[in-house]
Amino acid sequence: MKHIEFSDVKITGGHWRTRQAINRDVTVGAIYEKFKDTRFNALKCEWKEGDPNFPHIFWDSDVAKWMEGASYILTSSENNEILQIIEQTMKTIMEHSDENGYFNSHFNVKYQNERFWHRCEHELYCAGHLIEAAVAYYNLTGKTEFLNAMCKYADYIEKCFKKEKWPHFTTPGHPEIELALMRLYKATGVKRYADLAKHFIDEHGMQHPNDSFLYSWATNLYNQDDVPVRERNTADGHCVRALYLLCGMADVALEYNDNELKEACKRCFDNIVSKRMYITGGLGSTNLGEAFTIDYDLPNRTAYAETCAAIALAFFSNRMLSLEADAKYADAVERTMYNGIMSGISLDGKAFFYENPLEVDPDFNDRNPATTNKDHYPLTQRLELFGCSCCPPNVMRFVASIGGYIYGYDEDTVFVNQYIESEFDVNGTKIKQITKYPENGKVHISCLSDKKYIAVRIPFWCENFKINHSYTTKNGYAIIELGGNTEIDLDFDMPVRLMCANRRVHSDAGRVAVMRGPVVYCAEGVDNGKDISSVAIDINSKFEISDSEFLLPVLKTAGYRPPESESLYSDASDNYEKIPLTLIPFYAFANRGATEMTVWLLRK
Amino acid sequence: MKHIEFSDVKITGGHWRTRQAINRDVTVGAIYEKFKDTRFNALKCEWKEGDPNFPHIFWDSDVAKWMEGASYILTSSENNEILQIIEQTMKTIMEHSDENGYFNSHFNVKYQNERFWHRCEHELYCAGHLIEAAVAYYNLTGKTEFLNAMCKYADYIEKCFKKEKWPHFTTPGHPEIELALMRLYKATGVKRYADLAKHFIDEHGMQHPNDSFLYSWATNLYNQDDVPVRERNTADGHCVRALYLLCGMADVALEYNDNELKEACKRCFDNIVSKRMYITGGLGSTNLGEAFTIDYDLPNRTAYAETCAAIALAFFSNRMLSLEADAKYADAVERTMYNGIMSGISLDGKAFFYENPLEVDPDFNDRNPATTNKDHYPLTQRLELFGCSCCPPNVMRFVASIGGYIYGYDEDTVFVNQYIESEFDVNGTKIKQITKYPENGKVHISCLSDKKYIAVRIPFWCENFKINHSYTTKNGYAIIELGGNTEIDLDFDMPVRLMCANRRVHSDAGRVAVMRGPVVYCAEGVDNGKDISSVAIDINSKFEISDSEFLLPVLKTAGYRPPESESLYSDASDNYEKIPLTLIPFYAFANRGATEMTVWLLRK
């Protein structure tokens, strides 16, 4: 399946139109303001010993992701001020690039003699993001100057890593260059860049590098160095690294028709979604190494579930869809885009979570010395900036490019992967989709196409649905024959569903999560009082669905709360107080001050 | 209340007689064999640069605790070989002590110029344990040579810390010297030692020391430096440090009739037992700093619950009983002695747990990089030795001195604090207690005493009981008037009870723990199959009580297990398989190979 590019798709209404408006009107400016004096300023390479704001190893990537996301935003809306910032930034980068194309603000100002010495200091990661920014800007404007500069940089990387094989390391500690080179190849047609991406993929895990980093107990896993990529069976180590590597692997598998690589990608995808993924689509069970741990280990209160990892799951899943037209990949995108990704940004678009736990207790998270990264504190309140501020511009570029997840096509079929009010008219296919999904499950699609079939995804959460055409099903899609302008009405029955986890997930044992459509719900203390983790719900509960301030409806039902007690331990009893229970979309948690939150409610 | 010393009490039958026999016949020799080439050898101070087995900062204390425990064992049984090891060890220590009394194998062989420089390098901790060993040997033999050597050491400590106030630190990072000096005072009658203990107590928390250690976020809490001891309201930081300090505080409060200090001890005790203690009596909610965290934070799978901390709770509680004749202190001893302490040693007496989690999954504990101290791995199997091997000799000295927890007296009352088959004849009181407790709740006590009353504790777990005399109740004791030889029959009704935790304990929400008498039970995979954490129990279950290989009975009932599933998330249902469920005493877990275990079972 080939995807219809986001730039060809117009989002015309609904949830994502609102999200994109906030992204365009608030987020892009808010992030720039927070980055201006540090990350943007660093690109001037004027830092001297004794100055504040020494350029951090990954600051260039923060700017690059902002440039990429801003370019996406400008694709559907004009904003000269933002455009000028992008272009001025490119100019600054080109002015401070070497003759050979190399640019990195951190190494330029202090460690000129240590370029490509340190595997885990993010040079290739930053380079990859600069390349993605260059491709985005080129696609927006058609202007080639910055793209050419990045080609030169890529040529230099090819020289150092592939031709001359510099001695310090062979593959990056943090993948990203691989998928970026594949994008550069697609933008320029220069096959060498794909070959270089494949080179990095082929080399990854082929040896245990000298220059490893952090967590000696897990270094090899941390950087996905434990096995060659084609032998990989599970997703391990640092989640974002793992998923960015998988993106590169999927891209290379497709380009080179590399079945071994494709099978490894499939095994890892299946391992993630069937054993290592939170119900929100969040990834990362521990803050130690921001990492996967083992199958079925999904603790809620100490979940890491980094926003960037959820985004990376969408990146990877959409690439898998290119390799194999199976709805399960679009399902994974849907699960994470309504939950684990969008919990990463406040409803007003200004503040961000790095970690997205499925249970929050302000006492525990803010005072317990055993919890996660202090840089991301408190977990009860989104922050406008982090020391490591990778997530904010990542959410921005994801939201701006959501249109790229909706439609695809192959020889004879056009695919509808996501239900978002939108339209496009490309390559002989014209589609108009009208829906309030996921507010409800009704979708109207008008399609005029020279393809024979339209395949509409049957969402993973849906048991009953109606289609006003005859259809067959294949790989999770309903396939309908096209004939002239075809008007399709889909009605996905969207009841509230109470989900349980596999019995091997200790943390969710005896608990249920409430979903409606793809949206995972949670209970917050501000609505439901204290000790939310002890409140039980009857699995046969009825729910009232009400409009809300949270973009999607809230759910109301009854809960059962045990009595307060002075004693730490007492006789078990059946004393419960019946209380009204309000559930809000998980992505909307922590928008009303510090309060308890839980996704997994006890079963009564 | 004054305690009857363990040396005056003869354990004549039942659970603890068996435990003491194993301690005497197996444990004392097994630990010595493991310590011989490292810890014992280190005392010779022959280590040279390049040699293996550089004396660790706390090795002296391991030997000292062994000497103390071995002396206790010899109080009720002869063993010349063990006695010779003790005496040879003392001789070695004295030979390598300075003129001024100082001894520490670590500092003697390498850091002679850094004595008393490093607050957290355990010099005063080791000194304290050597003093306790000297007191134990003196009490056993009446010989004073080693006691005098330790007095000289204590005099030197007084000179450095109290008189000359050496500049590097004012109070020890790891308390122990305080309680040891109080024991030295009681053995010698030299009040200066009590005064020195009081000095350390008074100074603790009065300033934030320069020489702190580890965990910058929590250093002050870690070492109990956050507030002066008399202002302490909660038990914080490293559990063993906290509890050893509290022991010293309680001793000093009693000796100096220091009400402020006594009230601080009471507040901390209440904080522990009502908010920070596992149902097993285990203490320590995180491996980070081996520490308390916050109220009601009692995770099961990552519980630290160090064996030494459970023992220290017994030490502290028994001291609180001296300050105040309230049965709640003896209750805490009973809870921890049947559960959190004895889980620390294998049934054969040879191997030990450092950590005592309330839930074990071999997959999780052995493969998850996020879990606890690798030195203590695997948590599915007790080890004969740890790098930090404080717990084994601590269990040994506790078991050998269990007799000291049973009886006490004040002006007009003799107290029975624990129900253990035993007898004593001291100070005009003669008691013979016959019981199989806690196999059942029947206790017969014959008492001939010049006291007016006998106070028998009503155990915390007991709701119904019969006594063959009229009685009044006070502070958890039934008080019976004595008249000549009094024959008392106690019958504590001991049904199986299902306990729940306070609703603020997130980790135990929706779960119940099974107790019978003071004994906490657990379910192991070896008896009950996989995924024990997902097995539910009806709170109205009936239990069959059967004899077992685990010293106390096992319980049999029905459990309810959800079906296996391929999917990670699926619809919640009421499908359960009814299975036979076998519960064994918690202390006996992990004696039959690597297997799952849980104390807290789901409620059906």
pLDDT at residue B374, rounded to an integer? 65
Question: Which residue matches tokens 């902002």?
Answer: A66
Is B401 found in the same domain as B270? yes
Query: The CATH number of the domain where B298 resides is what?
Result: 1.50.10.20
Q: How far apart are CA A408 and CA B312, in angstroms?
A: 66
Is B390 found in the same domain as B461? no
Torsion of CA B552, B553, B554, B557, to 10 degrees: -150
* Cβ–Cβ under 8 Å, residues B326 and B476: yes
Transcribe A290-353 into DSSP letters: TB--STT---STT----HHHHHHHHHHHHHHHHH---HHHHHHHHHHHHTTTGGGB-TTSS-B-
Is B429 found in the same domain as B354? no
Position A220 confidence tier, pLDDT thresholds 50, 70, 90: confident
Give B538→chain A minimum CA distance, Å: 10
The DSSP secondary-structure symbol of A370 reads: T
pLDDT at residue A206, rounded to an integer? 86
Report CB contact under 8 Å: B364, A297: yes
User: Where is the domain boundary, B452, B467, B492?
Assistant: B492
Q: Which of B301, B502, B569 to substitute to test the interface with A, most A CBs within 10 Å? A: B569
The reply to whether omega before A585 is within 30° of 0 (cis) is no
In chain A, which residue's Cα lies nearest the Cα of B512?
A: A572
In chain A, which residue's Cα lies nearest the Cα of B374?
A: A217
Give the tens place of pLDDT for each residue, A496-537: 999 999 999 999 999 999 999 999 999 999 999 999 999 999
Residue among B120, B126, B151, B390 flagged as catalytic: B390
In the predicted model, what is the mean pLDDT of residues A575-581? 96
Question: Which residue matches tokens 């401070």?
Answer: A96
Q: How many CB atoms lie within 10 A of CB A528?
A: 22
Q: How far apart are CA A19 and CA A546, in angstroms?
A: 20
Contacts of A295 in chain B (CB under 8 A): 363
Is A422 found in the same domain as A307? no
Contacts of B275 in chain A (CB under 8 A): 568
Give A535→chain B minimum CA distance, Å: 8
Contacts of B567 in chain A (CB under 8 A): 274, 502
If residue B477 lies in a helix (H) or strand (E), which one and from where to where?
A: strand B477-481
Q: What percent of chain B has pLDDT over 90?
A: 90
Q: Is the ipTM of this complex over 0.90?
A: yes
In the predicted model, what is the mean pLDDT of residues A424-438? 97
Query: 3-state SS of A67-127?
Result: HHHHHHHHHHCCCHHHHHHHHHHHHHHHHCCCCCCCCCHHHHHCCHHHCCCCCCCCHHHHH
Is B517 found in the same domain as B427? no
Report CB contact under 8 Å: B534, A506: yes
Report CB contact under 8 Å: B502, A567: yes
Q: What percent of chain B has pLDDT over 70?
A: 96
Position A375 confidence tier, pLDDT thresholds 50, 70, 90: confident
In the predicted model, what is the mean pLDDT of residues B575-593? 97
Q: What is the mean pLDDT of chain A?
A: 95
Residue among A247, A390, A391, A522 flagged as catalytic: A390
- SS3 (DSSP) at A481: strand
Of B274, B286, B531, the CB nearest to A504: B531
Report CB contact under 8 Å: A511, B513: no
In chain B, which residue's Cα lies nearest the Cα of A297?
A: B364
Instruction: Give residue A426's Cα distance to chain centre.
Output: 26
Transcribe A555-597 into DSSP letters: EEEEEEEPPP-SSSEEE-----EEEEEEEEEGGGTTSSSS--E
Nearest alpha-carbon partner for B290 in B218, B338, B207? B218
* Cβ–Cβ under 8 Å, residues B67 and B89: yes
Query: 3-state SS of B132-176?
Result: HHHHHHHHHHCCCHHHHHHHHHHHHHHHHHHHCCCCCCCCCCCCC
Q: How far apart are CA A134 and CA A142, in angstroms?
A: 11
* Cβ–Cβ under 8 Å, residues B197 and B162: no
Q: How far apart are CA A458 and CA B132, in angstroms?
A: 73
pLDDT at residue A366, rounded to an integer? 60
Does A370 reside within a domain?
no
Residue among B123, B290, B524, B596 flagged as catalytic: B290
Q: How far apart are CA B320 and CA B265, in angstroms?
A: 8
Give the tens place of pLDDT for each residue, B237-248: 999 999 999 999
Report CB contact under 8 Å: A573, B539: yes
Q: Which amino acid is at B259?
A: N
Contacts of A275 in chain B (CB under 8 A): 568
Is B178 known to be catalytic? no
If residue A31 lies in a helix (H) or strand (E), which one and from where to where?
A: helix A28-35
Q: What share of chain A is helix, strand, coil (3-state, %, to 5)?
A: 40, 20, 40
Report CB contact under 8 Å: A534, B370: no
- Going by C-beta distance under 8 Å and a sequence separation of 6 or more, which residues neighbour residue B145? B90, B94
Q: How far apart are CA A176 and CA A240, in angstroms?
A: 9
Give A421→chain B minimum CA distance, Å: 28
Does B366 reside within a domain?
no
In chain A, which residue's Cα lies nearest the Cα of B359?
A: A506
Is B290 known to be catalytic? yes
**Structure token digits, residue A409:** 């096509």
Report CB contact under 8 Å: A568, B505: yes
Query: 3-state SS of B440-469?
Result: CCEEEEEEEECCCEEEEECCCCCCCEEECC
Of A289, A363, A509, the CB nearest to B294: A363
Residue among A132, A290, A421, A596 flagged as catalytic: A290
Query: The CATH number of the domain where A463 resides is what?
Result: 2.60.420
In the predicted model, what is the mean pLDDT of residues A122-138? 98
Give the tens place of pLDDT for each residue, B6-43: 999 999 999 999 999 999 999 999 999 999 999 999 99
Residue B373 has pLDDT above 80, yes or no: no
Is B325 found in the same domain as B231? yes
Of B291, B361, B506, the CB nearest to A506: B361
Of A498, A564, A568, the CB nearest to B572: A498
* Cβ–Cβ under 8 Å, residues B225 and B170: no
Give B290→chain A minimum CA distance, Å: 10
Q: How far apart are CA B12 and CA B251, in angstroms?
A: 30
- SS3 (DSSP) at B522: strand
Is B133 found in the same domain as B279? yes
**Structure token digits, residue B288:** 């980070």
Does B584 reside within a domain?
yes
Note down the domain range covering B540.
496-603
Q: How far apart are the first and last CA of chain A?
A: 45
Give the tens place of pLDDT for each residue, B513-535: 999 999 999 999 999 999 999 99
Give the tens place of pLDDT for each residue, A186-198: 999 999 999 999 9
Q: Which of B464, B506, B512, B599 to substitute to test the interface with A, most A CBs within 10 Å? A: B506
**Structure token digits, residue A99:** 């003759």
Is B442 found in the same domain as B538? no
Contacts of A497 in chain B (CB under 8 A): 571
In chain A, which residue's Cα lies nearest the Cα of B463?
A: A571
Does B370 reside within a domain?
no
Q: How many CB atoms lie within 10 A of CB A401?
A: 22
Give the tens place of pLDDT for each residue, B141-196: 999 999 999 999 999 999 999 999 998 889 999 999 999 999 999 999 999 999 99
- What does pTM read for this prediction? 0.93
Does A515 reside within a domain?
yes
Q: At what angle do helices A391-400 and A14-22 cross, to 10 degrees?
A: 130
Is A241 found in the same domain as A142? yes
User: Where is the domain boundary, B444, B459, B492?
Assistant: B492
* Cβ–Cβ under 8 Å, residues B449 and B407: no
* Helical H segments across A422-529, by residue range: 525-528
Report CB contact under 8 Å: B286, A370: yes
Burial class (CB in 10 A: 0-12, 13-18, 19+), A476: middle
Nearest alpha-carbon partner for B392 in B41, B72, B32? B32
Is A319 found in the same domain as A214? yes
Position A215 confidence tier, pLDDT thresholds 50, 70, 90: very low
Does B593 reside within a domain?
yes
Report CB contact under 8 Å: B533, A572: no
Of B370, B539, B568, the CB nearest to A572: B539
Is B195 found in the same domain as B94? yes
Contacts of B215 in chain A (CB under 8 A): 369
pLDDT at residue B475, rounded to an integer? 98
Does A371 reside within a domain?
no
In chain A, which residue's Cα lies nearest the Cα of B502?
A: A568
Report CB contact under 8 Å: B277, A568: yes
Q: What percent of chain A has pLDDT over 70?
A: 96
Q: How far apart are CA B279 and CA A571, in angstroms?
A: 12
Position B215 confidence tier, pLDDT thresholds 50, 70, 90: very low
Give A506→chain B minimum CA distance, Å: 6
In the predicted model, what is the mean pLDDT of residues B62-75? 98
**Structure token digits, residue B497:** 């009870």
In the predicted model, what is the mean pLDDT of residues A70-92? 98
pLDDT at residue A363, rounded to an integer? 81
Q: How far apart are CA A317 and CA A332, in angstroms?
A: 7
Q: Which amino acid is at A20?
A: Q
* Cβ–Cβ under 8 Å, residues A268 and A232: yes
Position B355 confidence tier, pLDDT thresholds 50, 70, 90: very high
* Among A8-22, B195-209, B485-499, the least confident range: B195-209
Q: How far apart are CA A528 and CA A234, in angstroms?
A: 39
Of A274, A499, A531, the CB nearest to B572: A499
Residue A218 has pLDDT above 60, yes or no: no
Q: How far apart are the first and last CA of chain B?
A: 45
Give B287→chain A minimum CA distance, Å: 8
Q: Domains in chain B: how many in total?
A: 3
Give the tens place of pLDDT for each residue, A467-483: 999 999 999 999 999 99
User: Where is the domain boundary, B437, B465, B492?
Assistant: B492
The DSSP secondary-structure symbol of A10 reads: E
Contacts of A500 in chain B (CB under 8 A): 562, 569-573
Is A265 found in the same domain as A309? yes
In the predicted model, what is the mean pLDDT of residues A262-277? 98
Give A387→chain B minimum CA distance, Å: 18
Burial class (CB in 10 A: 0-12, 13-18, 19+), B474: middle
Question: Which residue matches tokens 């203490």?
Answer: B283
**Residue B295 exposure: Cα atoms within 13 Å on the Cβ side:** 15
pLDDT at residue A364, rounded to an integer? 76
Nearest alpha-carbon partner for A241 in A189, A205, A216? A205
Report CB contact under 8 Å: A295, B364: no
Of B291, B506, B603, the CB nearest to A361: B506
Does B304 reside within a domain?
yes
Of A217, A510, A568, the CB nearest to B369: A217
